[in-house]
């Protein structure tokens, strides 16, 4: 009994929600639309930021039970909050981001909300004289970093789950994947519309149904008789090859 209780506690701990939202507004949601686009200003960028964005947004799409559609939408000359979200390379990174450390922070994101709904966003990429200039990272690490910033733009804060893409420190991550906690977060903000008005929810419980009945005996015999010529032919062919 003790074992069962301990297992139950562990199970519930493993499934605890760890994701947070980007604001403390109790009414915060995501964007009004589930189609969220990013425009890139490539001026001052030392690397191919367009390729970076295209790869980074992809990880947030195709989450079962979420209808989110994040995408790279083209070029911009903006360096300000906008809808679609602006992505640009900032040389005065610390000043622009309210004091982010240029030696440790390669990118930062921010959104504006109205009534809890996000309506514009911005992603800053660090191209300052500091150690965390994006030119100093390999493309895999940068893609993971930018995918994390995209998570903020979608409306997610930092997760306490160290496996999550939205964990505050992604420096040890070497693979761009979503953890269950990231999936929970994006599914909460952008749920799929399977339960929208007028839709039926076909909820399965097939594991509790009796197994299907076996085929009638006559049908089984007929199948065996039909397969007999095939078996003979295969045997004949095998024999022919053996003789070669
Ligand atoms: Zn973050």
**Percentage of residues in the chain having pLDDT higher than 90:** 64
Dig out the tokens for 136 from the structure. Answer: 């100093």
Contact 204, 195 (CB under 8 A): no
DSSP 129: S
Nearest-CA neighbor of 87 among 60, 56, 121, 57?
A: 121
Contact 103, 140 (CB under 8 A): no
Give residue 224 CA to ligand 1 midpoint distance, Å: 64
- The CA-to-CA distance between both ends of the chain, in Å, stands at 68
The model's pLDDT over 71-93, given as tens digits with 9 standing for 90+, comes to 999 999 999 999 999 999 999 99
Give residue 229 CA to ligand 1 midpoint distance, Å: 67
CB proximity list for 151: less than 8 A, separation 6 or greater: 60, 165, 166, 182, 185, 186
Give residue 161 CA to ligand 1 midpoint distance, Å: 13
How many other CB atoms sit within 10 Å of the CB of residue 129?
A: 10
Give residue 185 CA to ligand 1 midpoint distance, Å: 14
Phi and psi of 2, rounded to 5°?
-60, -40
Distance CA 153, CA 29 (A): 12
DSSP 156: B
How many other CB atoms sit within 10 Å of the CB of residue 118?
A: 23
Give residue 12 CA to ligand 1 midpoint distance, Å: 26
* Maximum separation of any 2 CA atoms in the chain, in Å: 83
Give residue 236 CA to ligand 1 midpoint distance, Å: 68
What is 12-189's CATH number, 3.40.50.300, 3.40.390.10, 3.40.50.720, 1.10.3720.10?
3.40.390.10
Residues 92-113 have a mean pLDDT of 96
Give residue 157 CA to ligand 1 midpoint distance, Å: 7
The model's pLDDT over 153-192, given as tens digits with 9 standing for 90+, comes to 999 999 999 999 999 988 778 899 999 999 999 999 999 9
Banded model confidence at residue 215, pLDDT cuts 50, 70, 90: confident
Give residue 148 CA to ligand 1 midpoint distance, Å: 6
């Amino acid at each position: 009994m003790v074992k069962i209780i301990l297992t139950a506690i562990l199970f519930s701990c493993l499934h605890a929600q760890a994701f947070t939202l980007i604001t403390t507004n109790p009414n915060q949601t995501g964007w009004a639309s589930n189609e969220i686009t990013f425009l890139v200003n490539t001026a001052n960028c030392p690397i191919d930021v367009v390729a970076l964005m295209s790869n980074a947004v992809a990880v947030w799409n195709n989450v079962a039970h979420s209808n989110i559609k994040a995408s790279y939408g083209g070029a911009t000359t903006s360096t300000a909050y906008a809808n679609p979200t602006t992505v640009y390379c900032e040389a005065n990174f610390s000043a622009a981001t309210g004091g982010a450390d240029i030696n440790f922070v390669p990118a930062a994101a921010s959104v504006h909300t109205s009534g809890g709904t996000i309506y514009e966003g911005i992603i800053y990429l660090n191209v300052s004289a500091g150690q965390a200039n994006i030119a100093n990272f390999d493309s895999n690490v940068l893609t993971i970093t930018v995918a994390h910033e995209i998570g903020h733009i979608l409306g997610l804060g930092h997760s306490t789950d160290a496996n999550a893409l939205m964990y505050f420190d992604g420096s040890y991550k070497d693979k761009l994947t979503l953890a269950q906690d990231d999936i929970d977060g994006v599914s909460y903000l952008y749920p799929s519309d399977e339960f929208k008005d007028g839709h039926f929810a076909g909820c399965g419980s097939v594991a509790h149904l009796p197994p299907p009945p076996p085929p009638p005996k006559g049908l089984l015999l007929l199948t065996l008789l039909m397969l007999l010529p095939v078996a003979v032919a295969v045997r004949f062919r095998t024999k022919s090859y053996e003789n070669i």
